[in-house]
Amino acid sequence: MSSTKQRNVWVDYLRSAITLLVVAHHSSLAYTTFAKYDSKVYINSTHPVVDTTRWIGLDIFENFNDIFFMSLMFMIGGFFLVKSINRKGAAHFIKDRFYRLFVPFLFLGTLFMLIAYFPSYHIGHPNAGVTSYIIDFFTLEKWPVGPPWFIWVLFAFNFLFGIFNPFFQKLAANLKSGLSQLKNRPFLFFLILFAITWLLYVPLAYNVGQGKWIGIGPFDFQLSRILLYFGYFLLGVFIGNTDFNKELFSPAYGIIRKWWLWALLAIFVYAALTLLSRPLTELVNENRLNSFAGWMIYYSLYAASCVLSSLAFITTFRKFANHQNRWWDSLSANAYMIYLVHFIFVIWTQYLLLGSNIPAFVKFVITFGVAVSLSWLVSILLRRIKIIAQYI
């Protein structure tokens, strides 16, 4: 099997696995202990549908995902861009990204979110009709973007990469040798990633707030993480400019050989972050610890968790996902559309399960199973339409 084929297998399977995590993440949000619903402005809720049945285990699962998986998605999104722009040229590259990312985001994303958010509006306004819902969607709720926010932000990063391509290409060329030399220095690689993550995330999150979002209409993004996401995107670009299958991410060298250690450390650090959050808060509230020091401890563990979880997923998939599987090939081919459409099935399933006397975890499993299955099926059907298949 060629290195190109290996690259497509493990990277594509990793990307599709994270897509499944995204679906699972949203499937859990109705059942977390911190979930809350705003009946007047549903976009202010923690999730469009909130159940009275909760389980703290889903808090742990959701928080684990939230720390790393979108950063890793942005990194993967940069892996093959140097090769792509060299093959197509900057103008054609930007045009291709516009049709593949921006057009589906704006039109399919808006249509899918209109369908997805209706149960949330109906819960707060049971007697209102569809027309009132659509007006509310674009006015009071200010055109909620939902999960497709990732797609427009990724397009923006691709656009910047295309516009400033000579600069980024030069930077990637200068870093190429240094990155390749890290192949047998796994802990130095971790420390570099940790330093980058800390610098790009902690100062901004501390100053604007960990969960701060900002935007106009559907062009919404998480301000506290935007530098982190752009940094991971560029890391993907720089890594992608190397022969990473044979060097940085080769199974013959230290980073991949330590796959088991990254996985253990990811679990350990996330457990430490989870267990220490409340004691740190209590120490600050009791004036036994300076607030700034408490936040720095928390954010440092957060940055370490982000890096270690990302490394655990990258190295595990590079180590083991090197052989094609028919089902996973189909999942990979349909992952983009699954990402776009899954929110409909997540929210409607959660809505239909409201009031059912079954445990939260069972509701989560049902929601996840229904959302993945139906999203996958819809993707297969939609991609048979020529104009959609051309870009999705």
| Predicted confidence (pLDDT) per residue in 286-333, tens digit | 999 999 999 999 999 999 999 999 999 999 999 999 899 999 999 999
What is the C-alpha separation between 292 and 304, in angstroms, rounded?
A: 18
Query: Would you place residue 201 in the very low, low, confident or very high pLDDT band (cuts 50, 70, 90)?
Result: very high
The predicted model scores a pTM of 0.95
**pLDDT for the residue numbered 3:** 40
- Going by pLDDT thresholds of 50, 70 and 90, the confidence category of residue 389 is confident
Q: How far apart are CA 85 and CA 99, in angstroms?
A: 15
pLDDT in tens, 119-132: 999 999 999 999 99
Q: Tell me the two tokens of residue 353.
A: 């399960």
Closest-CA residue to 146 (of 218, 197, 79, 206): 218
Per-residue pLDDT of 50-109, as tens digits, reads 999 999 999 999 999 999 999 999 999 999 999 999 999 999 999 999 999 999 999 999
Partners of 216 in beta bridges: 219
Residues of the domain holding 270: 3-389
In DSSP terms, 221 is beta-bridged to 214
pLDDT of 7 strictly over 80: no
Helix, strand, coil percentages for the chain (3-state, nearest 5): 75, 0, 20
Whether the CB-CB separation of 334 and 379 falls below 8 Å is answered with yes
Q: Is the dihedral of CA 73, 79, 81, 87 positive or negative?
A: negative
Q: Using DSSP bridges, classify how beta strands 213-216 and 219-222 pair: parallel, antiparallel or unpaired.
A: antiparallel
In tens, the pLDDT along 333-350 reads 999 999 999 999 999 999
3-state SS assignment for residue 251: coil
Give the sign of the dihedral formed by CA 40, CA 42, CA 48, CA 53: negative
Query: What is the domain count for the chain?
Result: 1
8 A C-beta contact, residue 332 and residue 392: no
Mean pLDDT, the chain, integer: 95
Rg (CA), the chain: 21
Higher pLDDT, 388 or 256: 256
Distances (CA, A) of 93 to 80, 84, 107, 109, 165: 12, 7, 21, 22, 11
